[in-house]
Amino acid sequence: MERSDFLSELTGGEVYLKLENQQITGSFKIRGALNKFLKLSGNAKARGVVTASSGNHAQGVAYASILLGIESTIVVPENTPKVKIEAIRKYGVNPLIYGKEYLEAEKFARRIEKEEGKVFISAYNDLDVIAGQGTIAIEMFNENPDLNTVLVPVGGGGLISGIASYVKNAFGCEVLGVQSENSPVMFESLKQGKIVEMESKSSVAEALHGGIEDGSVTFEICRRLVDEIVLVKEESIINGIRLMIQTHHQVVEGGGAVGVAALLESPERYREKSIGIVISGGNLDEKILNMLIKA
């Protein structure tokens, strides 16, 4: 982890960044995808896999496919950034583009699963995937066991489910999820006590965009183990991306910057705390990068 001098001074605490934007494929998603692939039976490997993703999980699946020689079909929604689609193709998989947002792409991938007999690998609703993502927490606390607050980006909940499962059992520290105000599906679901379907607005944190599959194990894990979901403004996310470039020389996508955005919005909340922020990915949309340059 890297200490953030700027955020530590802003909050009056100790802030450390887990830079998963430096990971192979540019995000944490390779962890869960590879763990799932390694656990597949011989029969499952022969049938091939299918998945849906807004981009980062797709890259993890594509990379694991090449690494292990398993055929994969990948469905992405129309709002997937060009940089992520090009990265998927770089790993030798030509993604199918379907639906305006993630949930539509996921339903289409589920249809392929039934019609073609492939193994569906969820980006979040899978215990093997969740366990793979949870290895982030092991590394964080091996390096800094004194952390008392962890901020984690939330979309479908696979990342925070893995992290919270380890942290709450081993250390008991505060686990906060972070979502954009424009796509608060997990926030609203926990608030209402059930998984809800709702229309999301456009967001620079497109990796966290879209709905949660009905019956997802992540909902129950989040309900039991996550202390709170914090919502942040789009402007704060953009400022978080800019801050990471300016002060840490790190390219971070919108979904990866939401934890930084949370500190920018409410620094007093984290005063005198030891904070770990998961910077989940660095596959920044070229349009957003150009916007920041022009600004």
Domains of the chain: 2-26+127-294 (3.40.50.1100), 29-120 (3.40.50.1100)
Give per-residue pLDDT as tens, 110-165: 999 999 999 999 999 999 999 999 999 999 999 999 999 999 999 999 999 999 99
State residue 200's pLDDT score. 86
Query: Would you say the pTM of this structure is higher than 0.85?
Result: yes
Give per-residue pLDDT as tens, 157-195: 999 999 999 999 999 999 999 999 999 999 999 999 999
What CA–CA distance (Å, rounded) separates 162 from 145?
A: 17
Backbone angles phi, psi at 40, to 5 degrees: -70, 145
State residue 95's pLDDT score. 94
3-state secondary structure string, 166-177?
Answer: HHHHHCCCEEEE
Give per-residue pLDDT as tens, 215-257: 999 999 999 999 999 999 999 999 999 999 999 999 999 999 9
State residue 293's pLDDT score. 76
3-state secondary structure string, the chain?
Answer: CEECHHHHHHHCCEEEEEEHHHCHHHECHHHHHHHHHHCCCHHHHHHCEEEECCCHHHHHHHHHHHHHCCCEEEEECCCCCHHHHHHHHHCCCCCEECCCCHHHHHHHHHHHHHHHCCEECCCCCCHHHHHHHHHHHHHHHHHCCCCCEEEEECCCCHHHHHHHHHHHHHCCCEEEEEEECCCCHHHHHHHHCCCCCCCCCCCCCHHHCCCCCCCCHHHHHHHHHCCEEEEECHHHHHHHHHHHHHHHCCCCCCHHHHHHHHHHHCHHHHCCCEEEEEECECCCCHHHHHHHHHC
Give yes or no for residue 210 having a pLDDT over 90: no
What CA–CA distance (Å, rounded) separates 110 from 167?
A: 32
State residue 191's pLDDT score. 97
State residue 278's pLDDT score. 98
State residue 235's pLDDT score. 97
Give per-residue pLDDT as tens, 263-295: 999 999 999 999 999 999 999 988 888 888 776
Tally of CA atoms within 13 A in the half-sphere of 20 that contains its CB: 29
State residue 84's pLDDT score. 86
Give per-residue pLDDT as tens, 13-48: 999 999 999 999 999 999 999 999 999 999 999 999
2 DSSP β-pair partners: 17
What CA–CA distance (Å, rounded) separates 148 from 164?
A: 12
To 5 degrees, how large is the angle CA 52–CA 245–CA 129?
A: 25
Give per-residue pLDDT as tens, 77-92: 998 888 889 989 998 8
State residue 34's pLDDT score. 96
* Cβ within 8 Å of residue 233, ≥6 positions away: 180, 181, 261, 265
Give per-residue pLDDT as tens, 53-81: 988 999 999 999 999 999 999 999 998 88
What CA–CA distance (Å, rounded) separates 39 from 49?
A: 13
